[in-house]
Amino acid sequence: MAKIKVAKTAGFCFGVDRAVKLVYSEIEKGNKNVATLGPIIHNADVVSDLKSKGVRIVDSVSELKNGETAVIRSHGVGREIYTQLEEKGNPYIDATCPFVARIHKIVREKTNEGYFILIAGDKNHPEVQGIVGHCDENCFVFKDEFDLKEFFSKKYKKTEKKLAIVAQTTYNILIWGECIKVVPHDDENILVFDTICNATSQRQSDAALLSKEVDAMVVVGGKNSSNTIKLYNVCCENCPSYHIENASELYRLDLNNADKIGITAGASTPAYIIKEVQNTMEEIFDFEKELEQSFKKVHTGERVKGYIAAVNNSEAIVDIGTKHTGYVPLAELTDDQTKKPADVVSVGDEVDLIVTKINDQEGIVMLSKKKVDELLGFDNITKAKEEETVLDGTVISVVKGGILVSVDGVRVFVPASQTGLGRDKSLDELLKKNVQLKVIEVNESRRRAVGSIKAVTKAQKEAAKAAFWESAEEGKTYKGEVKSLTSYGAFVDLGGIDGMVHISELSWSRIKHPNQVVKPGDILEVYIKELDKEAGRISLGYKKAEDNPWVKFEADYKVGDVVKATIVSITPFGAFAKIIEGVDGLIHISQIADKRVDNVNEVLSVGQEVDVKITEIDLDAKRISISIRALLENTADAEETDAE
Ligand code: F3S
């Protein structure tokens, strides 16, 4: 809608306002015999209102009825009119504007002082005729600088008088400026009185200012009002302008192409008429806007703004400012299948949409928010590629050769090789998961983007590695996952870095393979035994001191103790027997029985439980000697003693 602005000063000036009020107050006093000498102002509406209240308009004093109160209007009159009124005996109200009366005084005084009077103005205007009427035929009226130039070239010398120059109060200030240039400056016999009313000049300069900032001006005032005509001329210099008397004329004006319209008004235009013009203009534009909106066409593919009018479980209903009802189905609101329309938009939201389908007959328009999001999102995708930014997205589907990830409404294809999933894994595992990716390829013309999740995890791993080496030190403990096993140890992932736990470090017991203690996927608490930052090698420890069976053994056992032990292995020179978990003792072949044994297997077998006596402990060498024979000898000694 066009913007409408009213000039700072527009309408009734002080003099006109005073004159009109004087007439109305006379009527209010009950005087029914009032006549104005000419229309009180050049405004048909005010004049007709006064007429309806019984106020007559007469052209001359002779037309006045006996006793009728005459009103001299703001323009003022010549001296002979006052004389006529006095002679006829009619009472009168002098509504001459004080600024006009000042000009009367100047010209009278200067005439008496022997000056010749020059009057800038329109000789047919009542105000100028009134001024002339105070000059005793001692004057010349000029309309512009050309008239004045001619006066100086042809008539000035003949007057052989000093000159006093005045101007009609509503004289055009621009022309007045040109006239002043024509006046000889160094002639002290020439006096110039700037009698242009400030109200007029102010109104004109405000109108000039406003007309420069708008596309069209509407000047309101009587068709005969000279100050309105001058205002109109001032405005015409800056933009297309229209002179109207009241709001009813607005409908014929061509203001369609104007975005900003200014209003000004002549001195005789009452405030209520200006207001009426302003209001009517606003109504016209409102109506035109509504009309234009209701006929506004939309096209498939067009981008429009809309307001969410309602939301249900399957769609959002949108007002796009036309006669159509707009619908955005859920699938066109978002790619995220977990969301409902209310999760995406709310009633009252302003949204950017793209028209996807129009049904004029049913007055329905189908729209898509997702497509706009895609357009905007694609700019972000392009930027992210340039800046190598990590983007967040949701995996929306598994397609041939990879997955599609929705990032800010844009579908980014991630090839299977870039998902970071092992070949044995199914891509379905990623469905609906939130992932981070880097854009590795963009085709702007086809609006396609390729991303890589692996690039992010790789970068994250490298960052984790750097952080690990930064803080790693011997003795520091970590929780890590067993990644793989070999015959000599287990590899443990410490968060991007693999360390190895040697088989001897996996258990205090003697084991043949790490799988006797751990398996891939187990989480172990390990500590760094040895660190070689340069070679990037880490040896990990897993056994804990508090679990050391030798410490327990030392605390609980001594030489001479008789214990139960389980045969765990047999060798040609004896058998190893487990005393406690992690501590085995050796029964030398000579200590198996109280007679000679040639083959250990003939006497003992693995898993057999035997009573043994601890005969020697070497903690440093972690060697324990145990003996069955010692017990047998003890028994034989005891039996011999009993027999004696
Ligand atoms: Fe008086 Fe100035 Fe108005 S001279 S009538 S106040 S324009």
CA-nearest of 87, 50, 88, 51 to 68 is: 88
Distances from the Cα of 509 to the Cα of 271, 579, 583, angstroms: 109, 12, 7
Rounded CA gap, 265 and 258, in Å?
A: 19
Answer whether 14 contacts ligand 1 (Cβ < 6 A).
yes
For ligand 1, the distance from its centroid to the CA atom of residue 226, given in whole angstroms, is: 12
Which one of 9, 17, 22, 97 would you pick to mutate in the ligand 1 pocket, going by the greatest count of ligand atoms within 8 A of its CB? 97
170 in any annotated domain: yes
CATH of the domain at 150: 3.40.1010.20
Q: Please write the tens of the pLDDT for every residue from 107-127.
A: 999 999 999 999 999 999 999
- pLDDT of 588 higher than 60: yes
71 in any annotated domain: no
DSSP-derived pairing of the beta strands 523-532 and 477-486: antiparallel
> Ligand 1: which atom is nearest the Cα of residue 200?
7
Q: Are residues 263 and 284 in the same domain?
A: yes
For ligand 1, the distance from its centroid to the CA atom of residue 211, given in whole angstroms, is: 22
Q: Are residues 631 and 560 in the same domain?
A: yes
Taking a C-beta distance cutoff of 8 angstroms, is the pair 196, 171 a contact?
Answer: yes
Tell me the residue range of the domain where 228 lies.
Answer: 4-10+199-291
The SS3 assignment for 576 reads: strand
> How many C-beta neighbours within 10 Å does residue 171 have?
30
- pLDDT of 643 higher than 50: no
For ligand 1, the distance from its centroid to the CA atom of residue 354, given in whole angstroms, is: 59
Q: Are residues 396 and 356 in the same domain?
A: no
Q: Are residues 108 and 169 in the same domain?
A: yes
Q: Are residues 205 and 277 in the same domain?
A: yes
Rounded CA gap, 610 and 403, in Å?
A: 65
| Minimum CA distance residue for ligand 1 atom 5 | 15
> Ligand 1: which atom is nearest the Cα of residue 74?
5
Answer whether 41 contacts ligand 1 (Cβ < 6 A).
no
Answer whether 97 contacts ligand 1 (Cβ < 6 A).
yes
Q: Are residues 260 and 218 in the same domain?
A: yes
Asked which of 248, 267, 291 is the last residue of a domain, the reply is 291
Give the pLDDT score at 293: 58
Which one of 43, 72, 197, 203 would you pick to mutate in the ligand 1 pocket, going by the greatest count of ligand atoms within 8 A of its CB? 197
For ligand 1, the distance from its centroid to the CA atom of residue 225, given in whole angstroms, is: 13
pTM score: 0.43
Residue with tokens 């005010």: 46
| Minimum CA distance residue for ligand 1 atom 6 | 15
Number of domains present in the structure of the chain: 6
- The residues pairing with 626 across neighbouring beta strands, listed in sequence order, are 587, 614
Q: Please write the tens of the pLDDT for every residue from 174-207.
A: 899 999 999 988 788 899 998 998 887 788 889 9
Answer whether 99 contacts ligand 1 (Cβ < 6 A).
yes
Long-range contacts from 505-509, C-beta under 8 angstroms, 24+ separation: 505/529, 505/539, 505/540, 505/541, 505/542, 505/543, 506/542, 506/543, 507/543, 507/582, 508/543, 508/547, 508/548, 508/549, 508/550, 508/581, 508/582, 509/549, 509/581, 509/582
Answer whether 267 contacts ligand 1 (Cβ < 6 A).
yes
Answer whether 169 contacts ligand 1 (Cβ < 6 A).
yes
Answer whether 40 contacts ligand 1 (Cβ < 6 A).
no
Structure tokens at 349: 């939201």
- pLDDT of 640 higher than 70: no
53 in any annotated domain: no
Q: Are residues 559 and 607 in the same domain?
A: yes
Q: Are residues 558 and 538 in the same domain?
A: no
Structure tokens at 474: 């011997």
Give the pLDDT score at 446: 77
Give the pLDDT score at 568: 93
Give the pLDDT score at 437: 92
Q: Are residues 317 and 360 in the same domain?
A: yes
Give the pLDDT score at 644: 47
Asked which of 482, 512, 547 is the last residue of a domain, the reply is 547
Q: Are residues 172 and 212 in the same domain?
A: no
Q: Are residues 287 and 206 in the same domain?
A: yes
CA-nearest of 169, 107, 173 to 140 is: 107
For ligand 1, the distance from its centroid to the CA atom of residue 237, given in whole angstroms, is: 24
Which one of 12, 16, 40, 227 would you pick to mutate in the ligand 1 pocket, going by the greatest count of ligand atoms within 8 A of its CB? 16
Give the pLDDT score at 289: 60
> Ligand 1: which atom is nearest the Cα of residue 98?
1
68 in any annotated domain: no
Answer whether 197 contacts ligand 1 (Cβ < 6 A).
yes
* Burial per residue of 278-300, b for 16 or more beta-carbon CB atoms within 10 angstroms, e otherwise: bebbeebbeeeeeeeeeeeebee
Q: What angle in degrees, to the nearest 10, is found between the helix axes of 226-236 and 198-213?
A: 30
* Segment holding 349, helix H or strand E: none
For ligand 1, the distance from its centroid to the CA atom of residue 505, given in whole angstroms, is: 112
Answer whether 196 contacts ligand 1 (Cβ < 6 A).
no
> Ligand 1: which atom is nearest the Cα of residue 203?
7
577 in any annotated domain: yes
CATH of the domain at 317: 2.40.50.140
Q: Please write the tens of the pLDDT for every residue from 18-34.
A: 999 999 999 999 999 99
For ligand 1, the distance from its centroid to the CA atom of residue 121, given in whole angstroms, is: 14
Q: Please write the tens of the pLDDT for every residue from 362-413.
A: 778 899 998 888 888 888 888 888 988 999 999 988 998 899 998 877 889 9
- pLDDT of 265 higher than 50: yes
Q: Are residues 392 and 443 in the same domain?
A: yes
* Segment holding 286, helix H or strand E: helix 271-295
Structure tokens at 220: 């309101």
459 in any annotated domain: no
> Ligand 1: which atom is nearest the Cα of residue 18?
5
457 in any annotated domain: no
**Residues involved in catalysis:** 127
Answer whether 199 contacts ligand 1 (Cβ < 6 A).
yes
**Distinct helix (H) and strand (E) counts, the chain:** 18, 32
| Minimum CA distance residue for ligand 1 atom 1 | 15
Per-residue pLDDT averaged across 583-597, rounded?
A: 92
The SS3 assignment for 189 reads: coil
Which one of 42, 100, 206 would you pick to mutate in the ligand 1 pocket, going by the greatest count of ligand atoms within 8 A of its CB? 100
Asked which of 196, 213, 246 is the last residue of a domain, the reply is 196
For ligand 1, the distance from its centroid to the CA atom of residue 184, given in whole angstroms, is: 29
Determine the residue type at 272. Y
Q: What is the mean pLDDT of the chain?
A: 88
Answer whether 74 contacts ligand 1 (Cβ < 6 A).
yes
229 in any annotated domain: yes
Q: Please write the tens of the pLDDT for every residue from 208-238.
A: 999 999 999 999 998 888 889 989 999 999 9
Answer whether 200 contacts ligand 1 (Cβ < 6 A).
yes
